[in-house]
Amino acid sequence: GAFLVNGMRRLRAYCFVVANGLNKDGMNRAWPAALATALFALAPGESCADHAARTAGDWLSEAQRARDAGWIEEALAAVDESRRAGPAPERLAQAAKLYRELGRPDTARAALGDLLAADPGPEARRLAALEYQALGDFEAALAQFSLLALAPEAGALEELGVCQFLAGRAPEAERSLSGALTLDPRRLNARLSLGAALLARGRPLEALELYALAPPAGEAVASVAPCPAGPPCRPSSGKV
């Protein structure tokens, strides 16, 4: 039974790619369209022209549905098509995330390279940095976060500090997170993350004092970077 199910999934993925390739060449053959419709590539009632006109967002939505259904090959094929459909930075970042979740880290890194080549602006750099961090590629993430932190902005320094902490650079994280709090003392996540860095450096009393000075919940600023270990922060496992 499992062998048959896996075989059908591979056949679906094959038809998914073949049918789309025929569409891109401007062909409208009856047999691939019918077969693809029967085996998942085309939605029921969808013409080859409609199929070829799908946007990157359409393909990524298809990939997410296939991933949720456990159809890994179909999901990967759909993500591949999303990259061909257009180089929008947010779509390339989403494609990289899906590749990572589908167990293709090298392809995720390639998508991030495409992202930065297509748009070296600050938002694209931030999206790439966060995804590099999720991949565990801390050096690549820090390279992007460091560029973003050249401008004295609390959020950028906070994200840089969190990544430095995760990369095992507690002294550097302390400097970055202290800078973020100097610019905006209301940033709760920067405060919690700085406390984690202080604990990692063997300074628990300073960490407790920092926590005690946290602003009330109603005055705290929501953060975009995750606390290294979740509040209340604790030093991460591994060398820091």
Query: Which of 47-56, 108-117, 175-184, 192-201 is predicted least confidently?
Result: 47-56
In the chain, % of residues over pLDDT 90: 42
For 221, phi then psi, to 5°, come to -95, 130
- The CA-atom distances, in angstroms, between 30 and each of 7, 33, 36, 217 are 24, 5, 10, 62
Mean pLDDT of 67-71: 88
* Span 20-31, pLDDT tens digits: 544 444 444 444
**Is 178 a residue whose pLDDT tops 80?**
yes
**Is 4 a residue whose pLDDT tops 70?**
no
Q: What pLDDT, on a 0 to 100 scale, did the predictor assign at position 12?
A: 52
Residues, the chain, total? 240
Q: What pLDDT, on a 0 to 100 scale, did the predictor assign at position 223?
A: 52
Q: State the chain's maximal CA–CA distance in angstroms.
A: 73
Q: What pLDDT, on a 0 to 100 scale, did the predictor assign at position 57?
A: 84
Sequence-distant (6+) residues with CB within 8 A of 57 are 82, 91
**In this structure, how many other beta carbons lie within 10 angstroms of the beta carbon of residue 159?**
29
pTM above 0.85, yes or no: no
Q: How far apart are CA 199 and CA 138, in angstroms?
A: 21
Mean pLDDT of 38-58: 55
Q: What pLDDT, on a 0 to 100 scale, did the predictor assign at position 220?
A: 54
Q: How far apart are CA 192 and CA 153, in angstroms?
A: 18
Mean pLDDT of 179-193: 91
Mean pLDDT of 77-102: 86
Q: What pLDDT, on a 0 to 100 scale, did the predictor assign at position 29?
A: 41
**Is 161 a residue whose pLDDT tops 60?**
yes
The residue behind tokens 């050096």 is 139
